[in-house]
Amino acid sequence: MNHFLQFRFFLSMLENKILKAQKILVNGGVIALPTETVYGLAANAYDASAVKRIFTIKKRPLTSPLIVHTSHLDRAKLLVKSMPEKAIILAETFWPGPLTLLLEKKASLPDIVNAGLAEVGIRVPSHPVAQMLLEKLPFPLAAPSANPFGYISPTTAQHVEAQLGKKVDYILDGGRCTRGLESTIVGFSNKKPVIYRLGSITQEEIEKVIGPAPYLPPIQKDKSIQLTPGRSERHYSPHTPILVGDLPSLLRNLRNHRVVALCFDTSLDDLSVAHQVVLSPKKSLEEAAHKLFDALHHLDMLGADFIIAPYFPEEGLGRVMNERLLRASTQP
Ligand code: TXA
Ligand code: MG
């Protein structure tokens, strides 16, 4: 087959897959949706019973609100009462892309979507397959990450298959997620921007566009401060206990255990190659972020007593990965 025919074949396969996903969603089904961050577990946001199934499949408490995905800013505006000026600037800068904005929900969206809160998370994903599907649908998609509640988010269709395979109506395979970390969540408290979840767009990138946007970490020492629902301490956790710190010292301290390691740029001499993943020999934080969850899925399958992981440089995506690893390592 020449390249043109190969391309036509690939395109028609993709169109068929999108058509199938579309039909299932129109009929109230739940599918796994590829996005540039992680795979989502998606249903018609206006269909309360389809949305309820998302919670059941994930074993997610109904108090934990979902993000609503739509194809572009104009459609997003129809879902909310209003958008603060800085929200519009952020949307125009980063959409389509890995940014979720918390905005005041219109009554027409069912309350189950956002756990009955005043605000709903809205995001316009940039993944071409997600975009093609959302363009075709007459409704937005409510979608949390497609993992059992508390587990690592999936960055391939195979991760979804392994974790939730039989429970979802269809897995729309859009390949490996390019970003690999969830979207950054920005809300507005008295019109002032606040970052509620660090994610694929760094705080530095956000602040370059709108000025100060402090991060409100989910783990508050002061218990009198109300946490955003769903921002529980332990999250993104593999089944294997995970320890974060200086890798050679951790390895020495655990010498009587079966240990596997997540490494940033260099491998550990004292551990076999099969028992470690080096994320980015060229020390790229983007590459490490892209591979992080896939590496954790892989290491979790090796049946070790512990996964050991390093601290990344505390800047940009390094800070985001440190935060994910620390939350994964907190014991319940
Ligand atoms: O990249 C992403 O954001 C992926 C893809 C699929 O879009 N989605 C995702 O959704 O990570 P989820 O449900 O796994 O994480 C969303 C987080 C939760 O911690 C939830 O509590 C918070 O966003 N959230 C959503 N809506 C909220 C709201 N109205 N108020 C406060 N927090 C909210
Ligand atoms: Mg999640």
Of all helices (H) and strands (E), which one includes residue 262? strand 259-263
Between residues 327 and 278, the one the model is more confident about: 278
CA–centroid distance, residue 44 to ligand 2 (Å): 18
In ligand 1, which atom is closest to the CA atom of 117? 29
Which of 45-59, 91-105, 215-229, 241-255 shows the lowest mean pLDDT across its residues?
215-229
Atom of ligand 1 nearest to the CA of 196: 32
Read off the pLDDT band of 234 (50, 70, 90). low
Comparing 220 with 175, which gets the higher pLDDT? 175
User: Ligand 1 in contact with 29 (CB < 6 A)?
Assistant: no
Q: What is the mean pLDDT of the chain?
A: 93
Q: Which two tokens stand for residue 326?
A: 């620390």
Q: What is the pLDDT of residue 229?
A: 38
The tens digit of pLDDT for each residue in 186-208 reads 999 888 999 999 999 999 999 99
pLDDT at 77 over 70: yes
Q: Which amino acid is at 279?
A: L
pLDDT at residue 212 is higher than 50:
yes
The answer on pLDDT for 230 being more than 80 is: no
Task: Tell me what pLDDT residue 134 has.
Answer: 98
Residue 85 has a CB neighbour count (10 Å cut-off) of 10
150 Cα–ligand 2 center, Å: 7
Secondary structure class of 32 (helix, strand, coil): strand
Mean pLDDT, residues 250-271 taken together: 96
Mutation test of ligand 1: which of 71, 111, 164, 185 has the most ligand atoms closer than 8 Å to its C-beta? 185
CA within 13 Å, CB half, 238: 27
CA gap 192, 92 in Å, rounded: 18
**pLDDT surpasses 50 at 91:** yes
**Nearest ligand, CA of residue 185?**
1
Rounded to the nearest whole angstrom, what is the distance from the C-alpha of residue 38 to the centroid of ligand 2? 9
Tell me if 102 CB under 6 Å of ligand 1: yes
Q: What is the DSSP letter of 191?
A: T
Q: Whose CA is nearest to atom 29 of ligand 1?
A: 120
Closest approach atom of ligand 1 to CA 183 = 1
The mean pLDDT of 58-83, rounded to a whole number, is 97
- Is 185 touching ligand 1 by the criterion CB < 6 Å? yes
**Radius of gyration, alpha carbons of the chain:** 20
Distance CA(137)–CA(129), nearest Å, equals: 13
Give the residues across from 122 on adjacent strands: 68, 101
Pick from 123-127, 216-220, 266-270, 299-303: least confident: 216-220
CA of 153 to the centre of ligand 2 (A): 6
pLDDT at 190 (0 to 100): 84
CB 259 within 8 A of CB 308: yes
HSE, side-chain direction, 13 A CA sphere, residue 305: 9
In the three-class reduction of DSSP (H, G, I as helix; E, B as strand; rest coil), residue 264 is classed as coil
330: pLDDT strictly greater than 80? no
Distance (Å) from CA 220 to ligand 2 centroid: 19
Residues 6+ apart with CB under 8 A from 55: 61, 62, 112
Nearest to 108 by CA among 67, 47, 63, 54: 47
Ligand with the closest atom to the CA of 40 = 1
Question: Could you tell which of 33, 36, 228 is best to mutate to test the pocket of ligand 1, judged by most ligand atoms within 8 Å of the CB?
Answer: 228
Residues whose CB is under 5 A from ligand 2 (ion)?
Answer: 145
Cα 4 to averaged position of ligand 1 atoms, centre (Å): 40
Residue 192 identity (one-letter amino acid): K
Single out the residue of 12, 9, 29, 111 nearest to residue 68, CA to CA. Answer: 111
Residue 229's CB is within 10 A of a number of other CB atoms, namely: 15
Q: Is 194 helix (H, G, I), strand (E, B) or coil?
A: strand
Please tell me the total number of residues recorded for the chain in this structure: 332
User: If pLDDT is split at 50, 70 and 90, which confidence band does 235 have?
Assistant: confident
CB of 119 closer than 6 A to ligand 1?
yes
pLDDT greater than 60 at residue 242: yes
Q: How far is the CA of 2 from the centre of ligand 1 (A)?
A: 43
Nearest CA to ligand 1 atom 10: 144
pLDDT band with cut points at 50, 70 and 90 for residue 331: low
pLDDT at position 1: 64
pLDDT given at position 111: 98
Can you tell me which atom of ligand 1 is nearest the CA of 64?
21
Beta strand 259-263 with 306-309: parallel, antiparallel or unpaired?
Answer: parallel
More confident: 189 or 148: 148
In this model, does residue 299 exceed pLDDT 90?
yes
Cis, peptide link before residue 34, omega less than 30° from 0:
no
Strand partners, 276: 261
The finding on whether 182 has its CB within 6 A of some atom of ligand 1 is yes
Average pLDDT over residues 294-304: 96
Structure tokens of 72?
């572009």
